Structure 1
Amino acid sequence: MNQAEQNSLRGPVTPRHGHVFTPASRAYFAWQAGMLDEGALNQREAGKFFPQTQAGLTDPFAKDDPKNLLPPPDGKIASANQATGKMLDQPGDHWSKHEVCSGDTLDISWYFSANHRTRRFNYFITKPDWDSTKVLARDQFEAEPFHTELIELQPYWAYDAEMKPSNPTTHALPLPAREGYHVLLAVWEVADTGNAFYHVVDLDFLPGDGDDRPSVPMGLKAAEVTDKKVALSWQPSSGAHPIECYQLSRNGTDTFVVPAPITHWDDDQVTADATYHYSIVAVDSKGARSRPSAPVVVRTLGEGGVPSAPQSLHSMGQAVDSIRLMWGASSGASPIDRYELYRDGQQVAPIAGDRTEHTDGGLQPDTLYVYQVVAVDGEGKVSAPSNDLAVRTAVKSDYPAWRLYQDYASGDLVSHVGADWRCRQAHQSLSEDWAPGAAAALWQQHE
């Protein structure tokens, strides 16, 4: 097998699996600045159960959930020990910050490019006497989360949509008493893998309680979405001083000013089949700004009003005779009725519109397959296809198939892309770029 074919097996870079976008996390700011691509933004991923330091632990609440993989080490918490985000771990107080007050309720929102059955969200904050000149480490944070959102359903494999958070998901966090610069750590723990997703948010706690600020604009929603327009509306704010205007933020970078008392706005600068994040603040006649509203995430329809294309089709694992596939949900003018999965150009199976994963079975070992998925809405309109995904079933071998997020010791033997491989140095397989055939420093072919 040549290198080009080996590269094709990894498929396109997929924007998996989620990030904090309001208030913008450190990684989100880096993505806006062009320092991270979309895939790296969504893959701040390492083992769950922070602040634990070891892998192989059982969830004390949900003992049937997969055991955790290795959590990020001290000094690599913001990057989740991912090399693509190592700049996020730099110590210092130079990071872009969000102004808050002690006692505020901070709305923090996640966007999922590929949703998972979820066990919990944990939110940690740095101690009152933490030192920003040092790297983020466990002893810089309070030992316990100040807020947790737990999904209690068990066992995880008996549920699907019930354990997948809405997209986006917003949590209202009552902030503890702090002064000055602090770091909030948001951790999304997955129920059906050993991993979690890590995002840090930099906060500047201002003196006072913020009661003289305008009220937060409530009810922001997309009243109409087409392939050319997003029509937004919201409820009016109030405060100690008259509201002068509203400032709408799109994707955290573009700002649009709407004079009060108008409480609606049409964004006609959108493109078809694209995702947009909107939030809004109120500004009064003294220049005081409210806290941001709960955000709304909108995906415009495909060209001509068809559903948006399924996003981020990727493999969650290959066996000798099956491949587990997952993708991001589509949206349309009418609800999604079904997804249609294609293998090598032929339809495999219809999949219910509320599901975004499927295990394709009955396959041949060590065989390359190419997949696409399309969405069909209740009116029969068909989306554009997802990305093409080329993936190979595992080879029949005396050795186990190579897998992501596994600990490998020097000398371990695995099978991958039609060959057997010997591990050259101990590591955890945190990226497809570390796979046998792609990382010569880690693996050599075993004859």
Structure 2
Amino acid sequence: MATDLRVLAERTPVTRDRYVDLLRVASLGVVVGGHWLMAAVTDDGVGNLLAVVPRLQVLTWLLQVMPVFFFVGGFSHALSYRSLRRRHPDRSVYSVFLRGRLRRLLRPTMAFVLVWGAAALVVQLFGGGGGMTGVALRLVAQPLWFIGIYLAMVAFTPPLLRLHERWGWGAFGALAGAAAAVDVLRFAADVPFVEFLNFAFVWLAVHQLGFLRADGRLRAPAALAAAGLAGAAALVALGPYPLSMVGMPGEKVSNMAPPTLALLCHGLWLVGAVELLKGPGARLLRRPRVWRGVVAANGIAMTAFLWHLTAMLGVYAATTAAGLEPTEPATAAWWAEVPFRIAAAVVVTALLVALFRGFERPGPAAAAPVPGTGPIAATGIALCLFGILGLSMVGFGGLLEGRTAVLVAVPVSAPAAVAMALGGWLLVERAGRGSRL
């Protein structure tokens, strides 16, 4: 394993932007660490430290780094799609592009969904589902929202890349302007349901910044960071936007679900900040040992992300089973326990990664596109997107009772969401296999 990793790292092309790989794994790492840090167990279940100590919500301006991951995705998607177009200029490459970009994402995700779905069914057949088990069945699927949004970004890459190639910053400006208009309609005109459009406008605008980076057009990162930070601060101070850049229990307005203009400004400042660090980051990654660590981490990052809440809740369940009473959150004793809880979660996550990492291995090289498979791939990714988003909302609890959650005005149950996700994935795989040259 160590030898394979060394060889893989040494074979990295000199043209590869290693800093992007660092940003990808670092952003997921910050999200995982933030979840572990902010989880607070009480007698009522698992809560959020930020709700217990609201003044700590300012930390989300550093810990909410999903915009960085989506920004990096835009950069990588642009390079990948253009590469396929150059190799197959006379064919539609959409289906092959989807399969290539989603293979390492959906295979570990489907493994996670099937394992948890089977476990939830067994638990409920035997009359379980209370206590920490019930909390786990409800919570472990929530981070899947991120994968659903990422699927949408991949799906819309070809048309949005064409808009970028024609309009450049104008394409980003149109998406940002649409996000602002949605918030005006939401908060000033009280138009119902319009806020859900910002799941597309806000995150696709951040994704569009990745296209701009791919073309070397992010030339003033300091100005971008300053404008984003000033905009977010002004919107929070003067508008109806909360301080937290993640969702808080019981809040009337969330910057996350659905996203707001304040979250888009937050994304701008984060993108500007990480671009300012590109020079030092690139120099650091010239060290062979550092680069090997990034390569190794990228090989397991998605698996670790999918299973990190399972590990955390497993640690809490073990302490509860051992008869240990939960420490009151945010007290000195609670903070003293934090390193031990995180260390235990790291160990359990490492065990789960060792068990499931095989699903994240890269597949074979892309095949030649087959004409007429684009509609099949588009149908597949749409089904997969709605299935995964639906599962993130409904969770694995209440399988036998028919529990549902509303997704775009449609009630979705966990079995239906799993069926859509699996069916969509199989369609994407079938359409993107192509033919061998």
Band the TM-score falls in, shorter-chain normalisation:
under 0.3
TM-score normalised to structure 1 length: 0.20
> Is the helix fraction higher in 1 or 2?
2
> Is the strand fraction higher in 1 or 2?
1
Larger gyration radius, structure 1 or structure 2: 1
TM-score normalised to structure 2 length: 0.21
